[in-house]
Structure 1
Amino acid sequence: MSYRTIAPFSLLLLITAGCSSPQGMNCQGEVKTLPGHPIGMTSAVIIDNTVAFSVLMPKQHIESGLLYSADSSRYVPSAVTKEGYLAQRLSGNRFCIINPEKNEYTIYHCQ
């Protein structure tokens, strides 16, 4: 095979590998009131795409939308979901969904 044949094929493999869908992480969530009083525990599967994430629960599916931070070293990347929640990516394995209507938030810890 010549270089002209191998180069486009290699590029196609790299593009295809980069577009593969990320796997979900099993996560445990601590549910608290906005003042910080414990309510309970929950679980979900979170699919993290770095710039956005999805929270999959048996009765609900939340899409964060594009997360934004003016300076991610100082401010948490956040977005408002279509349901009106504030979604935050706290770290590579911690995520927060704030529900102002219910006066509660959930912080998910993933493995």
Structure 2
Amino acid sequence: MLNLLRFRDIADYTSHPELTPNEPISGAEAFDRYIKHTLPFLHESEGEIVFMGNGGEYLIGPEDENWDLVMLIRKSSMQSFLAFSNHKAYLAGIGHRTAAIEDSRLLPVTELPKVI
């Protein structure tokens, strides 16, 4: 799963007030909380973060579009992803992601056989 993420300047916990921190935090900080919450469930479902890096402006692409974070997640199957994404304990922390993200894209990709 290829994730492109743009963070809010200040995290918006309106939809999940039970997770609201005592002091305002950035979208990036809220996403860090989401990742810490999510990793055990990702690993339990045989998933892993293959790559996580800072985004930026396109070399080729829309000039008005940029992404703060690019993340590649490996899952064994779409069924594994769906089971992970519907896990009740995982969903208890999804509000950190919702609070963090201003915009995002999620593109499922399938690895091709090696050519070499």
Instruction: State TM-score, norm by structure 1.
Output: 0.25
- Radius of gyration: which is bigger? 1
Instruction: State TM-score, norm by structure 2.
Output: 0.25
Structure that is richer in helix per residue? 2
Q: Which has the higher relative contact order, 1 or 2, with Cα contacts under 8 A spaced 6 or more apart?
A: 2
